[in-house]
């Protein structure tokens, strides 16, 4: 039916309306749509490591118990960083309070993960 002037198969009034609202078909519409939706930049392995290690360090510090590194989504190497960070944070929390421990978690996880990923992703298997 599409060739003889009838409705095009698979095209609805809603679909056409959405296309017009988003600027498709209008002069410069694609450029406007692309400019309004910049894609996010990729997160580096070191940043991702620091974020997840800091998160789980706070969880462990608050709960007092360690979980399984795999259930946390950590590699064995990241788990080692977490254990070092939590050990240091516990001592600081006792002597200087929770806010100081929180700042230490951010600093230590960032520094350790930056060092771990300074040459790219470590080798030795997915668990490292």
- The parent domain of residue 29 ranges over 2-36
Reported as a pLDDT band with limits 50, 70 and 90, residue 36 is low
**Torsional class of 39: left (φ above 0), alpha (ψ -120 to 50), beta (otherwise):** beta
Q: Flag whether 30 is in a domain.
A: yes
Residues 52 and 111 reside in one and the same domain: yes
Q: What is the pLDDT, as a whole number, of residue 41?
A: 80
Nearest to 108 by CA among 69, 71, 56: 56
Q: The pTM is what?
A: 0.64
Say if CB 69 and CB 79 are below 8 A apart.
Answer: yes
Residues 62 and 106 reside in one and the same domain: yes
Q: Flag whether 126 is in a domain.
A: no
**pLDDT above 60 (res 111):** yes
* Token pair belonging to 9: 């198969």
Nearest to 58 by CA among 78, 85, 84: 85
Residues 9 and 50 reside in one and the same domain: no
Residues 30 and 89 reside in one and the same domain: no
Could you give the CA distance from residue 109 to residue 105 in angstroms, rounded to a whole number?
Answer: 6
Q: Flag whether 128 is in a domain.
A: no
* Token pair belonging to 128: 């490292």
Q: Which residue would you say has higher pLDDT here, 62 or 30?
A: 62
Residues 72 and 13 reside in one and the same domain: no
Report helix, strand or coil for 119: coil
Mean pLDDT of 5-34: 46
Q: Flag whether 57 is in a domain.
A: yes
**């017009």: which residue's tokens?**
20
Residues 70 and 95 reside in one and the same domain: yes
Q: To the nearest whole number, what is the mean pLDDT of the chain?
A: 77
Residues 82 and 103 reside in one and the same domain: yes
């Amino acid at each position: 039916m599409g060739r003889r002037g009838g409705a095009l198969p698979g095209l609805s009034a809603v679909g056409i309306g959405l296309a017009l609202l988003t600027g498709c078909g209008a002069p410069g519409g694609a450029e406007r749509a692309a400019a309004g939706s910049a894609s996010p930049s990729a997160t580096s392995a070191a940043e991702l490591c620091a974020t997840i290690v800091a998160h789980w360090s706070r969880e462990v510090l608050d709960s007092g118990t360690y979980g399984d590194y795999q259930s946390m989504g950590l590699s064995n190497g990241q788990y080692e960083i977490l254990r070092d960070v939590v050990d240091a944070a516990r001592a600081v929390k006792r002597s200087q309070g929770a806010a100081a421990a929180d700042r230490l978690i951010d600093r230590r996880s960032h520094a350790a993960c930056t060092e771990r990923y300074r040459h790219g992703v470590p080798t030795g298997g997915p668990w490292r």
